Amino acid sequence: MYWLSLFVAGIFEIVWAVGLKLTDGFSKILPSVVTVAGIVASFFFLSIALKKLPLSIAYAIWTGIGTAGTVLFGIFYFHEPTDLAHIICVGLILCGIIGLRILS
């Protein structure tokens, strides 16, 4: 359950990061509401995960999920430029997340 909470927290981190881009400086209501709700949900689920998981591992995985997911969302949804180096770096982040999970 705690690992699932951590995963959900990471997904909500992606939601609020992408939502933040769509708020246009918090001038658009719906994306702003989604962003704030994503922040609250992300921290809520992270707090549940931190009841049993080590802070260092949970925080690294949470930010890793958010980082990798946001990068991938930026590439596929916002058509942000990418190259082989970007893809390799995101792959390394994902390897780190998997490695931390396996070692925990």
pLDDT tens for residues 27-45?
A: 999 999 999 999 999 999 9
Among 50, 59, 60, CA closest to 96: 60
Q: Quote the DSSP letter at residue 53.
A: S
| Residue the block writes with tokens 């922040």 | 39
Q: Quote the DSSP letter at residue 14.
A: H
What residue segments make up the domains of the chain, in order of their start? 2-103
pLDDT tens for residues 42-94?
A: 999 999 999 999 999 999 999 999 999 999 999 999 999 889 998 899 889 88
**Could you tell me the pLDDT band of residue 101, with boundaries at 50, 70 and 90?**
confident
Q: Tell whether the model's pLDDT for residue 104 goes beyond 80.
A: no
